[in-house]
Structure 1
Amino acid sequence: MRFGIKTRPEHTTWERMRDVWVAADDIELFDSAWNWDHFYPLSGDLAGPNLEGWTMLAAMAQATRRIRIGCQVGCMIYRHPAVLANMAATIDIIAQGRLDLGLGAGWYQHECDAYGIELPPLRERFDRFDEGLQVIISLLSKPTTTFEGTYYQLTEARCEPKPVQRPHPPIVIGGRGPKRTLRAVALWAQQWNSINSSVAEWQALKETLLVRCDEVGRNPEEIICSVNVMIDPERGIGPAVEEVAGYREAGADLVIMNLPHRAEPSLLEPLAEALAPLA
């Protein structure tokens, strides 16, 4: 089993998050670090600060040297997929091939309403997501892309320079939808992340993913299956490590430890020591 960390960029400062990621970069047990793609906080004071995730990734790519970096997960409706493909290529170059390209269909109604961003009905949202995935993968891997979709149209479009990782950075799809989300994972992803779910829910979703892979002729062993585990600051590391052990028994490949708000870099060494026997 592998481990990553996730820091939420709400109600915090750039300097604090940077210091945590740099500290994780120095601890071999952690192989990835993640943030999120929101403009508003999801907890506490919704009028509080929340740093933008993708510009932060570019800075984190420069601040770190080893650890893989990613956004959990990039919201397809916030940016045209061609724009996001160019962003991903640039960040992967800055990171020297360490970007995991997290993508999701989007869901946060409050944010969309505030910014005047249309949040389509669920079916249309996933139709857009499927088209957007194809656009991004094609732009990152082919010299030119011509695409005639319902929502996106490209004509001999280019994305240069290409990312370091070929044919493209690993696609990470986040979500728990058994039909559309897991079908998209089976078709296009190199990693599936179920965000936050119980061990039993995660096992059931993984079984469904195996079915979706069989339907499209995909080898499920090509897909890393990951999950998030939250550390409750009031309960400490112990209960979170026990939860990780359950996911290990269930067959999770990667567990991403969601750090408490305003976590200090000093948390990471004892966390790594507690997780090491499960690695």
Structure 2
Amino acid sequence: MGLVRFAIKTRPEHTTWADILDVWKAADDIELFESAWNWDHFYPLTGDLTGPNLEGMTTLAALAQATRRIRIGCQVAGMIYRHPAVMANMAATLDIISGGRLELGLGAGWNQQECDAYGIELPPLRERFDLFDEGMEAIVGLLSRPTTTLEGRHVRLTEARCEPKPVQQPHPPITIGGKGPKRTLRAAARWAQQWNIVTETPQRWLELKEILHGHCADLGRDPGEITCSINVLIDPEKGIGPAVEQVATFREAGMDLVVMNLPHRAKPALLEPLAEALAPLA
């Protein structure tokens, strides 16, 4: 049983910029938390779906300027929302703004409501993952090579450049989120430095991890290069205790990184007691 590392996540729904900023600045001063995350949605996912939700990538740029130590990331940017070349340029710029602290979270995308409302095409699952695979190839190429040419079905690049390059080379660490056994986990085995899932039992996580390792073996990848992370939600009505107990079960199962999902409009005062409660597990 190894030690587990910790991060926080602030959901940008039903909250204000001021609250998110205060929490991230406070987390930046607490060494236990190695990274902080938001999400890439345009509508809330819980509660009143007509309520407010701040855009993920622009808030990351602002939070990069407001912090100095903590790594920053999005769980996870949907490939369907932005052309992969645009995403690569955004990632390079974010890494430069943050001084090399970007964790590049990427996923295929799934939210039908947002796509219907905005007229964004949400392809069928197989086609969506074909687009994701081509998009990953494009993003990694643009971030790490002088020029990239790609003749894909969904993504076409012709001697495309992305300058300036990110601080982290060959590219910022990539987090792939999801638990689809065939396409998502194979993509994680091929591209990811971190694989994230949101809600599972330790037993189910271990089953998925076994599948990931199988894909790694097929691709000749060392699974030890991939950090495994899971999100644990803090219920504001139950407090910190049950969440810390859940963390302990994942630590026993061998999880590498636990991302503590903070309640809506969490205040900085929550972070010190949370860090103290988690410290014995770190």
- TM-score higher than 0.5 here? yes
Partner residue of 1:14 out of 12, 17, 30: 17
Q: Percent identity?
A: 75
In the other structure, the counterpart of 2:172 is 169
Distance 1:23 1:207 in 2: 37
Partner residue of 2:73 out of 70, 74, 87: 70
Amino acid at match of 1:106: G
Gap runs ≥5 in structure 2? none
Partner residue of 1:53 out of 56, 65, 80: 56
Gap runs ≥5 in structure 1? none
Partner residue of 1:129 out of 132, 135, 138: 132
Distance 1:215 1:242 in 2: 36
Matches within 5 A, 1:60-209: 60-209=63-212
Partner residue of 1:222 out of 222, 225, 229: 225
Deviation at 1:46?
1.0
Using the size of structure 2 for normalisation, the TM-score is 0.98
Partner residue of 1:235 out of 231, 234, 238: 238
The runs of 4+ residues in structure 1 deviating greater than 4 Å are: none
In the other structure, the counterpart of 1:274 is 277
Amino acid at match of 1:20: V
Deviation at 1:233?
0.6
Distance 1:195 1:129 in 2: 19
* RMSD (Å) for aligned C-alpha atoms: 0.5
Q: Provide, for residues 169-193 of structure 1, a one-character-per-residue CA deviation record: whole Å limited to 9, x for no partner.
A: 0010000101100000111110000
Q: Is residue 31 of structure 1 aligned with residue 34 of structure 2?
A: yes
Distance 1:132 1:40 in 2: 24
Distance 2:236 2:202 in 1: 21
Matches within 5 A, 1:238-249: 238-249=241-252
Distance 1:141 1:41 in 2: 34
- Give the secondary structure class of the aligned counterpart of 2:80: helix
Amino acid at match of 1:134: E
Distance 1:47 1:230 in 2: 22
How many pairs were matched up? Answer: 279
Deviation at 1:208?
0.9
Which of 160-169 and 190-199 deviates more? 190-199
Partner residue of 2:214 out of 204, 208, 211: 211
Deviation at 1:198?
1.7
Distance 1:106 1:222 in 2: 25
Partner residue of 2:254 out of 251, 256, 272: 251
Q: Provide, for residues 223-245 of structure 1, a one-character-per-residue CA deviation record: whole Å limited to 9, x for no partner.
A: 00000000001111010001001
Distance 1:229 1:202 in 2: 13
- Give the secondary structure class of the aligned counterpart of 1:77: coil
Deviation at 1:55?
0.3
Which of 159-168 and 199-208 deviates more? 199-208
In the other structure, the counterpart of 1:262 is 265
- Give the secondary structure class of the aligned counterpart of 1:228: strand
Using the size of structure 1 for normalisation, the TM-score is 0.99
- Give the secondary structure class of the aligned counterpart of 1:32: strand
- Give the secondary structure class of the aligned counterpart of 2:113: helix
Deviation at 1:40?
0.3
